[in-house]
Structure 1
Amino acid sequence: MWSWFGGSSAAKKKDLPKNAILTLRQQLEMLQKREAHLERQMNEQDAIARKNISTNKNAARAALKRKKQHEHSFNQTQSQIAQLEQQIYSIESANINYETLKAMENAGKAMKAIHGGMTMEKVDSTLEELREQHALGEEIGNAITSTPLGEPIDEEELDQELEDMVQENLDDMMLKTGQVPVTGDIGRIPSVPNGPVKGKAPATREEDEEAELKRLQAEMAI
Protein backbone atom coordinates (compact mmCIF):
# COMPACT_ATOMS: atom_id res chain seq x y z
CA MET A 1 0.00 0.00 0.00
CA TRP A 2 2.98 2.31 0.53
CA SER A 3 4.03 1.90 -3.12
CA TRP A 4 1.99 5.07 -3.83
CA PHE A 5 4.78 7.08 -2.20
CA GLY A 6 7.50 5.45 -4.29
CA GLY A 7 10.41 3.31 -3.26
CA SER A 8 10.69 -0.43 -3.06
CA SER A 9 12.98 -1.31 -0.17
CA ALA A 10 11.58 -2.32 3.18
CA ALA A 11 13.41 0.52 4.95
CA LYS A 12 11.95 3.16 2.67
CA LYS A 13 8.48 1.73 3.03
CA LYS A 14 8.84 1.82 6.78
CA ASP A 15 10.00 5.47 6.78
CA LEU A 16 7.44 6.74 4.24
CA PRO A 17 4.57 7.33 6.69
CA LYS A 18 6.86 9.04 9.18
CA ASN A 19 8.43 11.30 6.55
CA ALA A 20 5.06 12.16 5.00
CA ILE A 21 3.59 13.09 8.38
CA LEU A 22 6.67 15.16 9.23
CA THR A 23 6.40 17.13 5.97
CA LEU A 24 2.69 17.69 6.42
CA ARG A 25 3.16 18.96 9.97
CA GLN A 26 5.81 21.42 8.84
CA GLN A 27 3.49 22.76 6.14
CA LEU A 28 0.64 22.89 8.65
CA GLU A 29 2.71 24.96 11.03
CA MET A 30 3.53 27.45 8.24
CA LEU A 31 -0.14 27.76 7.26
CA GLN A 32 -1.16 28.33 10.86
CA LYS A 33 1.34 31.20 11.10
CA ARG A 34 -0.08 32.65 7.84
CA GLU A 35 -3.58 32.28 9.25
CA ALA A 36 -2.64 34.27 12.35
CA HIS A 37 -0.95 36.99 10.22
CA LEU A 38 -3.96 37.37 7.90
CA GLU A 39 -6.26 37.59 10.92
CA ARG A 40 -4.19 40.47 12.30
CA GLN A 41 -4.28 42.22 8.88
CA MET A 42 -8.05 41.84 8.72
CA ASN A 43 -8.41 43.37 12.20
CA GLU A 44 -6.12 46.29 11.28
CA GLN A 45 -8.05 47.10 8.09
CA ASP A 46 -11.33 46.84 9.93
CA ALA A 47 -10.03 49.34 12.50
CA ILE A 48 -8.90 51.76 9.73
CA ALA A 49 -12.30 51.54 8.04
CA ARG A 50 -14.11 52.25 11.30
CA LYS A 51 -11.78 55.15 12.03
CA ASN A 52 -12.40 56.86 8.66
CA ILE A 53 -16.04 55.93 8.15
CA SER A 54 -17.19 59.43 9.08
CA THR A 55 -14.32 61.63 7.95
CA ASN A 56 -12.84 59.90 4.88
CA LYS A 57 -15.12 57.42 3.18
CA ASN A 58 -12.62 56.69 0.39
CA ALA A 59 -9.99 55.61 2.93
CA ALA A 60 -12.60 53.58 4.74
CA ARG A 61 -13.64 51.93 1.46
CA ALA A 62 -10.03 51.11 0.57
CA ALA A 63 -9.50 49.60 4.03
CA LEU A 64 -12.57 47.44 3.67
CA LYS A 65 -11.38 46.31 0.24
CA ARG A 66 -8.02 45.25 1.66
CA LYS A 67 -9.86 43.54 4.50
CA LYS A 68 -11.88 41.55 1.97
CA GLN A 69 -8.73 40.45 0.17
CA HIS A 70 -7.14 39.37 3.41
CA GLU A 71 -10.35 37.62 4.34
CA HIS A 72 -10.32 35.67 1.05
CA SER A 73 -6.72 34.54 1.68
CA PHE A 74 -7.62 33.75 5.28
CA ASN A 75 -10.46 31.46 4.17
CA GLN A 76 -8.19 29.70 1.66
CA THR A 77 -5.56 29.20 4.34
CA GLN A 78 -8.11 27.72 6.72
CA SER A 79 -9.26 25.33 4.00
CA GLN A 80 -5.67 24.24 3.35
CA ILE A 81 -5.11 23.73 7.08
CA ALA A 82 -8.20 21.53 7.27
CA GLN A 83 -7.00 19.48 4.29
CA LEU A 84 -3.53 18.99 5.78
CA GLU A 85 -4.99 17.95 9.13
CA GLN A 86 -7.21 15.43 7.30
CA GLN A 87 -4.20 14.07 5.40
CA ILE A 88 -2.19 13.69 8.60
CA TYR A 89 -5.08 11.89 10.25
CA SER A 90 -5.54 9.58 7.24
CA ILE A 91 -1.85 8.68 7.06
CA GLU A 92 -1.67 8.03 10.81
CA SER A 93 -4.77 5.81 10.63
CA ALA A 94 -3.42 3.97 7.57
CA ASN A 95 -0.08 3.44 9.28
CA ILE A 96 -1.79 2.13 12.43
CA ASN A 97 -3.87 -0.25 10.30
CA TYR A 98 -0.75 -1.39 8.47
CA GLU A 99 1.21 -2.02 11.68
CA THR A 100 -1.79 -3.81 13.21
CA LEU A 101 -2.13 -6.03 10.16
CA LYS A 102 1.59 -6.78 10.20
CA ALA A 103 1.41 -7.68 13.90
CA MET A 104 -1.54 -9.99 13.20
CA GLU A 105 0.39 -11.64 10.35
CA ASN A 106 3.36 -12.20 12.67
CA ALA A 107 1.01 -13.66 15.28
CA GLY A 108 -0.42 -16.01 12.65
CA LYS A 109 3.07 -17.14 11.66
CA ALA A 110 3.96 -17.71 15.30
CA MET A 111 0.84 -19.80 15.88
CA LYS A 112 1.55 -21.79 12.74
CA ALA A 113 5.09 -22.46 13.93
CA ILE A 114 3.83 -23.50 17.38
CA HIS A 115 1.23 -25.86 15.98
CA GLY A 116 3.70 -27.24 13.46
CA GLY A 117 2.52 -30.61 12.24
CA MET A 118 -0.21 -30.87 14.85
CA THR A 119 -3.54 -32.17 13.59
CA MET A 120 -6.76 -33.16 15.29
CA GLU A 121 -5.97 -36.79 14.49
CA LYS A 122 -2.64 -36.51 16.31
CA VAL A 123 -4.29 -34.75 19.24
CA ASP A 124 -6.98 -37.45 19.51
CA SER A 125 -4.32 -40.17 19.22
CA THR A 126 -2.20 -38.58 21.94
CA LEU A 127 -5.18 -38.20 24.28
CA GLU A 128 -6.21 -41.80 23.68
CA GLU A 129 -2.68 -42.98 24.45
CA LEU A 130 -2.67 -40.95 27.65
CA ARG A 131 -6.00 -42.48 28.69
CA GLU A 132 -4.66 -45.99 28.04
CA GLN A 133 -1.52 -45.35 30.05
CA HIS A 134 -3.60 -43.89 32.88
CA ALA A 135 -5.83 -46.97 32.90
CA LEU A 136 -2.77 -49.23 32.86
CA GLY A 137 -1.31 -47.35 35.81
CA GLU A 138 -4.58 -47.79 37.72
CA GLU A 139 -4.57 -51.55 37.03
CA ILE A 140 -0.96 -51.89 38.12
CA GLY A 141 -1.62 -49.93 41.31
CA ASN A 142 -4.65 -52.04 42.14
CA ALA A 143 -2.70 -55.23 41.49
CA ILE A 144 0.13 -54.14 43.75
CA THR A 145 -2.14 -53.20 46.65
CA SER A 146 -4.51 -56.20 46.41
CA THR A 147 -2.07 -59.07 45.80
CA PRO A 148 -0.08 -60.26 48.88
CA LEU A 149 3.65 -60.52 48.43
CA GLY A 150 5.20 -63.99 48.36
CA GLU A 151 3.66 -67.37 47.61
CA PRO A 152 0.49 -68.54 49.43
CA ILE A 153 1.03 -70.61 52.57
CA ASP A 154 0.32 -74.35 52.30
CA GLU A 155 -1.83 -75.18 55.33
CA GLU A 156 -1.13 -78.96 55.06
CA GLU A 157 2.58 -78.36 54.97
CA LEU A 158 2.22 -76.12 58.01
CA ASP A 159 0.34 -78.83 59.95
CA GLN A 160 2.98 -81.44 59.02
CA GLU A 161 5.77 -79.16 60.21
CA LEU A 162 3.93 -78.64 63.50
CA GLU A 163 3.56 -82.40 64.00
CA ASP A 164 7.27 -82.90 63.29
CA MET A 165 8.13 -80.34 65.94
CA VAL A 166 5.90 -82.12 68.50
CA GLN A 167 7.54 -85.43 67.71
CA GLU A 168 11.00 -83.95 68.09
CA ASN A 169 10.09 -82.64 71.53
CA LEU A 170 8.75 -86.04 72.54
CA ASP A 171 11.94 -87.71 71.34
CA ASP A 172 14.03 -85.29 73.35
CA MET A 173 12.00 -85.99 76.49
CA MET A 174 12.27 -89.73 75.95
CA LEU A 175 16.04 -89.47 75.72
CA LYS A 176 16.16 -87.48 78.93
CA THR A 177 13.75 -89.56 81.01
CA GLY A 178 14.16 -93.04 79.47
CA GLN A 179 10.34 -93.48 79.28
CA VAL A 180 8.22 -93.80 76.13
CA PRO A 181 4.94 -91.95 76.52
CA VAL A 182 1.86 -93.81 75.29
CA THR A 183 -0.81 -91.73 73.71
CA GLY A 184 -3.64 -93.71 75.29
CA ASP A 185 -2.12 -93.50 78.73
CA ILE A 186 -1.13 -89.85 78.56
CA GLY A 187 -4.69 -88.74 78.83
CA ARG A 188 -5.13 -90.66 82.08
CA ILE A 189 -2.15 -89.18 83.82
CA PRO A 190 -3.49 -87.59 87.00
CA SER A 191 -2.85 -83.92 87.42
CA VAL A 192 -0.54 -83.04 90.22
CA PRO A 193 -1.73 -80.26 92.53
CA ASN A 194 0.55 -77.32 93.02
CA GLY A 195 0.34 -77.39 96.83
CA PRO A 196 0.79 -80.25 99.34
CA VAL A 197 -2.11 -82.75 99.85
CA LYS A 198 -3.72 -82.83 103.29
CA GLY A 199 -2.86 -85.89 105.38
CA LYS A 200 0.24 -86.71 103.34
CA ALA A 201 3.81 -85.70 103.71
CA PRO A 202 4.99 -82.96 101.39
CA ALA A 203 6.24 -84.29 98.05
CA THR A 204 9.93 -84.25 97.41
CA ARG A 205 11.51 -82.09 94.75
CA GLU A 206 12.15 -85.09 92.50
CA GLU A 207 8.53 -86.16 92.70
CA ASP A 208 7.33 -82.68 91.80
CA GLU A 209 9.59 -82.58 88.78
CA GLU A 210 8.48 -86.04 87.65
CA ALA A 211 4.81 -85.09 87.99
CA GLU A 212 5.34 -81.88 86.03
CA LEU A 213 7.15 -83.79 83.30
CA LYS A 214 4.30 -86.28 82.94
CA ARG A 215 1.76 -83.44 82.75
CA LEU A 216 3.77 -81.78 79.99
CA GLN A 217 4.01 -85.06 78.08
CA ALA A 218 0.26 -85.53 78.35
CA GLU A 219 -0.40 -82.02 76.95
CA MET A 220 1.96 -82.46 74.03
CA ALA A 221 0.49 -85.83 73.06
CA ILE A 222 -3.03 -84.40 72.66
Structure 2
Amino acid sequence: MTTRATVSALLDGYGRTYAEEAGITLRDKPAPLYRLLVVTVLCSVRIRADTATAAARELFRAGLRTPRAMAGSGWQDRVDALGRAHYVRYDESTATALGDGARLVLDRWRGDLRRAGAAADGDPEALRGLLREVPRIGPVGADIFCREAQAVWPWLRPSFDARVCRTARDLGLPGTPRGLAGLVPPEDCARLAAALVRVGRSERAAAQVRAA
Protein backbone atom coordinates (compact mmCIF):
# COMPACT_ATOMS: atom_id res chain seq x y z
CA MET A 1 0.00 0.00 0.00
CA THR A 2 1.41 3.37 -0.95
CA THR A 3 1.71 6.27 1.44
CA ARG A 4 -0.83 8.21 -0.61
CA ALA A 5 -3.33 5.35 -0.43
CA THR A 6 -2.86 5.02 3.33
CA VAL A 7 -3.43 8.72 3.89
CA SER A 8 -6.53 8.67 1.66
CA ALA A 9 -7.93 5.71 3.59
CA LEU A 10 -7.31 7.50 6.87
CA LEU A 11 -8.90 10.78 5.82
CA ASP A 12 -11.84 9.22 3.96
CA GLY A 13 -12.70 6.71 6.65
CA TYR A 14 -11.68 8.35 9.90
CA GLY A 15 -10.78 11.98 9.23
CA ARG A 16 -13.68 13.65 11.00
CA THR A 17 -12.34 15.82 13.79
CA TYR A 18 -13.73 15.48 17.28
CA ALA A 19 -14.90 19.09 17.09
CA GLU A 20 -16.98 18.22 14.02
CA GLU A 21 -18.35 15.13 15.74
CA ALA A 22 -19.46 17.33 18.63
CA GLY A 23 -21.28 19.65 16.23
CA ILE A 24 -18.71 22.46 16.41
CA THR A 25 -17.87 24.53 13.36
CA LEU A 26 -14.43 25.44 14.60
CA ARG A 27 -13.35 29.02 13.97
CA ASP A 28 -10.93 31.42 15.57
CA LYS A 29 -13.71 32.89 17.69
CA PRO A 30 -14.34 32.77 21.45
CA ALA A 31 -17.45 30.56 21.46
CA PRO A 32 -16.23 27.75 19.16
CA LEU A 33 -12.85 27.66 20.90
CA TYR A 34 -14.57 27.38 24.26
CA ARG A 35 -16.74 24.56 22.97
CA LEU A 36 -13.56 22.78 21.87
CA LEU A 37 -12.27 23.19 25.42
CA VAL A 38 -15.46 21.54 26.70
CA VAL A 39 -14.88 18.59 24.36
CA THR A 40 -11.30 18.40 25.62
CA VAL A 41 -12.46 18.23 29.24
CA LEU A 42 -14.98 15.53 28.37
CA CYS A 43 -12.37 13.46 26.52
CA SER A 44 -9.81 13.74 29.30
CA VAL A 45 -11.05 10.73 31.26
CA ARG A 46 -11.15 7.04 30.40
CA ILE A 47 -14.36 7.11 28.40
CA ARG A 48 -15.25 6.39 24.79
CA ALA A 49 -14.68 9.36 22.49
CA ASP A 50 -18.13 8.99 20.92
CA THR A 51 -19.70 9.18 24.38
CA ALA A 52 -17.67 12.31 25.13
CA THR A 53 -18.73 14.04 21.91
CA ALA A 54 -22.35 13.01 22.49
CA ALA A 55 -22.13 14.56 25.95
CA ALA A 56 -20.77 17.76 24.41
CA ARG A 57 -23.73 17.91 22.04
CA GLU A 58 -26.13 17.53 24.96
CA LEU A 59 -24.45 20.34 26.87
CA PHE A 60 -24.56 22.62 23.84
CA ARG A 61 -28.18 21.67 23.17
CA ALA A 62 -28.92 22.77 26.72
CA GLY A 63 -27.52 26.21 25.86
CA LEU A 64 -24.13 25.77 27.55
CA ARG A 65 -22.09 27.05 24.63
CA THR A 66 -20.08 29.83 26.30
CA PRO A 67 -18.09 30.03 29.52
CA ARG A 68 -20.61 32.51 30.92
CA ALA A 69 -23.51 30.17 30.22
CA MET A 70 -21.61 27.21 31.66
CA ALA A 71 -20.57 29.08 34.79
CA GLY A 72 -24.11 30.32 35.31
CA SER A 73 -25.70 26.92 34.93
CA GLY A 74 -26.71 24.68 37.80
CA TRP A 75 -24.51 21.73 38.70
CA GLN A 76 -27.49 19.37 38.44
CA ASP A 77 -28.33 20.72 35.00
CA ARG A 78 -24.83 19.80 33.86
CA VAL A 79 -25.09 16.36 35.44
CA ASP A 80 -28.44 15.80 33.73
CA ALA A 81 -27.07 16.78 30.31
CA LEU A 82 -24.13 14.41 30.74
CA GLY A 83 -26.50 11.66 31.86
CA ARG A 84 -28.62 12.02 28.73
CA ALA A 85 -25.52 11.07 26.73
CA HIS A 86 -24.78 8.15 29.07
CA TYR A 87 -21.64 9.92 30.27
CA VAL A 88 -21.82 8.07 33.56
CA ARG A 89 -19.27 7.27 36.28
CA TYR A 90 -17.58 10.63 35.69
CA ASP A 91 -20.73 12.74 35.37
CA GLU A 92 -20.67 14.43 38.79
CA SER A 93 -16.94 15.19 38.87
CA THR A 94 -17.04 16.38 35.27
CA ALA A 95 -20.00 18.65 35.99
CA THR A 96 -17.90 20.24 38.74
CA ALA A 97 -14.84 20.53 36.50
CA LEU A 98 -16.86 22.19 33.74
CA GLY A 99 -18.21 24.82 36.11
CA ASP A 100 -14.82 25.53 37.66
CA GLY A 101 -13.16 25.59 34.24
CA ALA A 102 -15.70 28.06 32.87
CA ARG A 103 -15.03 30.39 35.77
CA LEU A 104 -11.28 30.11 35.18
CA VAL A 105 -11.72 31.00 31.50
CA LEU A 106 -13.81 34.02 32.50
CA ASP A 107 -11.44 35.19 35.22
CA ARG A 108 -8.14 34.45 33.52
CA TRP A 109 -8.92 35.12 29.86
CA ARG A 110 -12.12 37.14 30.04
CA GLY A 111 -13.99 34.34 28.31
CA ASP A 112 -11.78 34.35 25.22
CA LEU A 113 -9.27 31.53 24.71
CA ARG A 114 -7.57 33.58 22.03
CA ARG A 115 -6.05 35.47 24.96
CA ALA A 116 -4.47 32.20 26.09
CA GLY A 117 -3.09 31.79 22.59
CA ALA A 118 -1.69 35.30 22.68
CA ALA A 119 -0.17 34.67 26.10
CA ALA A 120 1.58 31.61 24.69
CA ASP A 121 3.18 33.90 22.10
CA GLY A 122 3.41 31.28 19.39
CA ASP A 123 4.87 28.60 21.67
CA PRO A 124 2.78 25.39 21.63
CA GLU A 125 4.39 24.13 24.84
CA ALA A 126 3.50 27.36 26.60
CA LEU A 127 -0.10 26.92 25.49
CA ARG A 128 -0.12 23.35 26.78
CA GLY A 129 1.00 24.67 30.14
CA LEU A 130 -1.82 27.21 30.23
CA LEU A 131 -4.37 24.58 29.24
CA ARG A 132 -3.25 22.33 32.10
CA GLU A 133 -4.48 25.00 34.52
CA VAL A 134 -8.03 24.13 33.47
CA PRO A 135 -9.59 21.55 35.81
CA ARG A 136 -9.43 17.99 34.46
CA ILE A 137 -7.02 18.86 31.62
CA GLY A 138 -3.60 17.23 31.90
CA PRO A 139 -0.93 16.51 29.29
CA VAL A 140 -3.25 14.23 27.30
CA GLY A 141 -6.03 16.81 27.30
CA ALA A 142 -3.63 19.55 26.23
CA ASP A 143 -2.59 17.37 23.30
CA ILE A 144 -6.24 16.83 22.36
CA PHE A 145 -6.92 20.57 22.28
CA CYS A 146 -3.80 21.34 20.25
CA ARG A 147 -4.46 18.56 17.73
CA GLU A 148 -7.88 20.02 17.03
CA ALA A 149 -7.08 23.73 17.36
CA GLN A 150 -4.31 23.51 14.77
CA ALA A 151 -7.14 23.67 12.23
CA VAL A 152 -7.63 27.35 13.08
CA TRP A 153 -4.34 28.25 14.81
CA PRO A 154 -1.63 27.62 12.19
CA TRP A 155 1.12 28.32 14.73
CA LEU A 156 0.22 25.04 16.45
CA ARG A 157 1.07 23.02 13.34
CA PRO A 158 2.17 20.35 13.25
CA SER A 159 0.46 18.96 16.38
CA PHE A 160 0.94 15.20 16.29
CA ASP A 161 1.71 13.81 19.73
CA ALA A 162 3.78 10.72 20.52
CA ARG A 163 0.82 8.31 20.49
CA VAL A 164 -0.34 9.58 17.10
CA CYS A 165 3.18 9.28 15.71
CA ARG A 166 3.43 5.71 16.99
CA THR A 167 0.22 4.78 15.16
CA ALA A 168 1.55 6.43 12.01
CA ARG A 169 4.74 4.34 12.17
CA ASP A 170 2.68 1.18 12.63
CA LEU A 171 0.88 2.04 9.38
CA GLY A 172 4.12 2.65 7.52
CA LEU A 173 3.85 6.44 7.59
CA PRO A 174 6.44 8.92 8.83
CA GLY A 175 6.64 8.85 12.61
CA THR A 176 7.43 12.50 13.20
CA PRO A 177 5.17 15.57 13.34
CA ARG A 178 7.02 17.22 10.49
CA GLY A 179 6.90 14.08 8.38
CA LEU A 180 3.16 13.67 8.89
CA ALA A 181 2.49 17.33 8.15
CA GLY A 182 4.21 16.87 4.81
CA LEU A 183 1.61 14.31 3.74
CA VAL A 184 -1.42 16.63 3.70
CA PRO A 185 -2.30 20.26 3.06
CA PRO A 186 -1.82 22.34 6.22
CA GLU A 187 -5.56 22.66 6.78
CA ASP A 188 -5.87 18.85 6.92
CA CYS A 189 -3.38 18.29 9.73
CA ALA A 190 -6.17 18.21 12.32
CA ARG A 191 -8.13 15.68 10.26
CA LEU A 192 -5.11 13.43 9.85
CA ALA A 193 -4.39 13.63 13.58
CA ALA A 194 -7.98 12.72 14.42
CA ALA A 195 -7.91 9.81 11.98
CA LEU A 196 -4.72 8.44 13.51
CA VAL A 197 -6.19 8.71 17.00
CA ARG A 198 -9.25 6.71 15.94
CA VAL A 199 -7.24 4.07 14.13
CA GLY A 200 -4.81 3.79 17.03
CA ARG A 201 -7.71 2.85 19.30
CA SER A 202 -9.15 0.16 17.04
CA GLU A 203 -7.40 -2.90 15.64
CA ARG A 204 -10.32 -3.33 13.25
CA ALA A 205 -9.92 0.21 11.91
CA ALA A 206 -6.18 -0.27 11.54
CA ALA A 207 -6.78 -3.47 9.57
CA GLN A 208 -9.29 -1.71 7.33
CA VAL A 209 -6.78 1.07 6.58
CA ARG A 210 -4.08 -1.44 5.76
CA ALA A 211 -6.43 -3.36 3.50
CA ALA A 212 -7.96 -0.37 1.73
Report TM bin, short chain: under 0.3
TM-score, structure 2 length as denominator? 0.16
Q: Which has the higher helix share?
A: 1
State which structure, 1 or 2, has the greater radius of gyration over its C-alpha atoms: 1
TM-score, structure 1 length as denominator? 0.16
Higher relative contact order (CA 8 A, sep 6+): 2
